[in-house]
Structure 1
């Protein structure tokens, strides 16, 4: 997100009575976007059965299409709000998100649903930075802004938790389609309210020529092609001409992105920012951390449904400890960081996540939730809660004021794209292992053989995820130094933590 507080001279700030209405409208939109990030997880088994997704590799596109487009266009969304007006950006994103929700709710084909999820992700990439920018501009007073951002944080955390439960209730008692259709009235209220109350504030300078659309398209296109190639490598063959050709196209697009960023006068990402140790290490840590963590939104859901026979609402209830534990750990981490320093807290959190993933390596075919699923949920949630604040501090430490929005947007992008790439790689390897085991069971494997092969595939996936987290631990432990943060742990340096607390919530979108 790029956050500029200088508004066009012709635009006046809203009066006191409207400011809190504006906050309510933006928080409604944020709640919807956050809700959608988790509400889909619980409905995945029902979606797979109803629409006929052939494998879990195809099913993961329901998540990955959203994440790829959200991460790929997040920085462009932040810049667009500065140039064209935050109200216009908010309305455009909300309209796209709401329209795509309608398409998804009525979808009768897998490709339509995946395409709709991509449009939802693009809409979210416009809404998320607009919400924070509108809050910052609407509340120039520090005390009021802190209060508004506190409500933003609460809504973000509440949306994640509510998504788990609402997804189960709607899927169980109505249909999975209602997890998308429920967005329509919320979106319409937000659109009508924004037209009536939110002024179209923007940065004082800027024009269309400053939009780096080629950069956004090339990086998103390159990553999408790469994920598509990885997902299909199991069926095509890793050495097949089709796989090699698509990887070459992905590399060409990503290379074009680098060239564009180096040559344009107003790049989406100024690549020189990565020459600072904390920024490069922080983003590498986030990329690998989210790459390994995101399987927790996928494999346990499929295991609970396929192996333990959980209904959607029971899956939602089973996942509720995850956001609750993460929020509690995050609160504790924010209190500890002034004493421990970012590096120690970051490494500790990453080790918790790795330990949680490792608990699933002995996952039984027909286990019990309390002993085989819950411990891993709690450990990974606690670890994730401890990681987010320090990783945002690391990735924004020492950044010039005029590039603080860029640094914040880059770390958010690293989180989303790491999740997409990690899920693609891990799902492919897990499915390949399951397919290999079933190939040795004859033409008609029994139900028991299928369940066993599926669980062994999950175990392979969790092994890879834990290995990725081990890489993240090494990057954080050996890539950072105490002097990178200006003060020793325990010296009471909490300024960075306070700044990071305002940035962390945007990652949850």
Structure 2
């Protein structure tokens, strides 16, 4: 047995006074990376004009990020466990900085799309490593609950505030600055991480190799599946453009199961999914992100196409959602140790669903304060409350060695859920609107009817997720299986 160098001793992991500074740094990085998944949305028309994208080609500015992030996250989680979380984090930050500069300086369509793929790959590399470091630094159950709440909250706010920041930057400067602004932040992280964070690579047996076949099959399968789902925005479910990649992706994922069962050192140990609580929270993460991403996307279209909001007005309109999520995170963090992960997660899902139902009451003449804001506040508070509890559930029973894998699985499910929400609910809404027009409805009334339908489907997904959590969750402790003791034992 050789030691690969968990260089920080057990006591230091628990008592390191720098851990809160590290949390602030890693949370800020996660905020910046996820922000770039949504920051382009309000700026898409200006990017289209600046680089000459067609309507179908413009989708790759969003899809390139989602495909790369969703397809590579599992591999990123395992690489962090094996080769070192700090090392992978720094590599991810470098890739993100370079890719952001490429996007900001893009002079043609391929340059922009390549940059967006690079940003998605950077998230896949950095996000699991970041969450894995946090899980190791905070070994006290109460501290870990607070730390994971802060981390998850800033990540969620990054997705929400992307709309606000995009509207402000594109209105005051240029769309290029939504990418350039990332570069100095990334440079600061590169300077500070080596000073504050010690390496936490796991111990490995001599001759152990990564499961390359499993990595290739799972990554290709996820990319194909997400790509096929995204194609439903333009093509019917029965078309070859959808069926071929979806069926191919499913086939590759089934092949991954066979490969992992036979591999000596599997990328994804199948026993990882034997834990019922982890399996349920990862499944319901699909529902959560499908509802969340489609809600913000559809609400933006409703505001700009029906209520005639400007990009800046629409962006600023999401500020209460960000504050509501922050309040919900604080509430969930405080109540989880008292009421338990199961109760908070289930109630949060159901409450967020009720917020979407409230939003679905909007009409053509809806006002912001009377029609949009009430549902936004309810949705944000309850959605935020689920985040600390969901992250604890995703790490339930996980050893230090598999913390990167656990976070990679959860984030992968979130990415796929977001892609599924856009790929399925957007076409459903648009087709419903077209049907309403054929039956004599006005354009604005028909569009509103489609948006309302998507909100209601999202509400059903949220409530279903809450019921599954209530029925299937086991008792969830906020403790991982003594990671510091495990590291100390392996490094003796």
Q: TM-score, normalised by structure 1?
A: 0.79
**CA 1:135 to 1:434, structure 2 compared with 1: closer, same or farther past 3 Å?**
same
The answer on whether the counterparts of 1:282 and 1:391 sit within 8 Å (CA) in structure 2 is: yes
Partner of 2:237: helix, strand, or coil?
coil
Partner of 1:367: helix, strand, or coil?
coil
Q: Give 5+ residue unaligned stretches, structure 1.
A: 442-447, 487-495, 503-509
Aligned to 2:475: 485
Aligned to 1:493: none
Aligned to 1:475: 468
Query: Which among 421, 432, 447 is matched to residue 454 of structure 1?
Result: 447
Aligned to 2:456: 463
**CA 1:194 to 1:437, structure 2 compared with 1: closer, same or farther past 3 Å?**
same
Aligned to 2:43: 43
**CA–CA separation in structure 1 for the residues paired with 2:387 and 2:140:** 26
Aligned to 1:385: 384
**CA–CA separation in structure 2 for the residues paired with 1:139 and 1:475:** 29
Q: Give 5+ residue unaligned stretches, structure 2.
A: 484-492
Q: What is the CA distance between 1:294 and its match in structure 2?
A: 1.9
Q: What is the CA distance between 1:171 and its match in structure 2?
A: 1.0
Higher deviation after alignment, 294-303 or 306-315: 306-315
Q: What is the CA distance between 1:322 and its match in structure 2?
A: 1.2
**CA–CA separation in structure 1 for the residues paired with 2:90 and 2:28:** 13
**CA–CA separation in structure 2 for the residues paired with 1:124 and 1:359:** 33
**CA–CA separation in structure 1 for the residues paired with 2:404 and 2:343:** 25
**CA 1:32 to 1:240, structure 2 compared with 1: closer, same or farther past 3 Å?**
closer
Partner of 1:224: helix, strand, or coil?
helix
Partner of 1:265: helix, strand, or coil?
coil
Aligned to 1:318: 317
**CA–CA separation in structure 1 for the residues paired with 2:57 and 2:454:** 16
Partner of 2:39: helix, strand, or coil?
helix
Q: What is the CA distance between 1:179 and its match in structure 2?
A: 0.5
Q: What is the CA distance between 1:375 and its match in structure 2?
A: 1.9
Cα displacement string for residues 88-139 of structure 1 (whole angstroms, at most 9, x for unaligned residues): 3223211211122122223355565344322211101212233345566778
**CA–CA separation in structure 2 for the residues paired with 1:401 and 1:275:** 17
Aligned to 1:184: 183
Partner of 2:308: helix, strand, or coil?
coil
Q: What is the CA distance between 1:6 and its match in structure 2?
A: 5.2
**CA–CA separation in structure 2 for the residues paired with 1:88 and 1:76:** 15
**CA 1:433 to 1:208, structure 2 compared with 1: closer, same or farther past 3 Å?**
farther
1:395-474 correspondence runs (5 A)? 395-399=394-398, 402-437=401-436, 449-474=442-467
**CA 1:427 to 1:242, structure 2 compared with 1: closer, same or farther past 3 Å?**
same
**CA 1:171 to 1:239, structure 2 compared with 1: closer, same or farther past 3 Å?**
same
Cα displacement string for residues 233-276 of structure 1 (whole angstroms, at most 9, x for unaligned residues): 46443333443333322222222222222222222322222223
The answer on whether the counterparts of 1:359 and 1:376 sit within 8 Å (CA) in structure 2 is: yes
Aligned to 1:29: 29
**CA 1:61 to 1:340, structure 2 compared with 1: closer, same or farther past 3 Å?**
farther
Pairs aligned (count): 477
Q: TM-score, normalised by structure 2?
A: 0.81
The answer on whether the counterparts of 1:278 and 1:396 sit within 8 Å (CA) in structure 2 is: no
Provide the aligned C-alpha RMSD in A. 4.0
**CA–CA separation in structure 2 for the residues paired with 1:371 and 1:202:** 53
Cα displacement string for residues 261-310 of structure 1 (whole angstroms, at most 9, x for unaligned residues): 22222223222222232222222222222222221231112222222232
**CA 1:272 to 1:239, structure 2 compared with 1: closer, same or farther past 3 Å?**
same
**CA–CA separation in structure 2 for the residues paired with 1:60 and 1:360:** 26
Q: What is the CA distance between 1:318 and its match in structure 2?
A: 0.8
Aligned to 1:358: 357
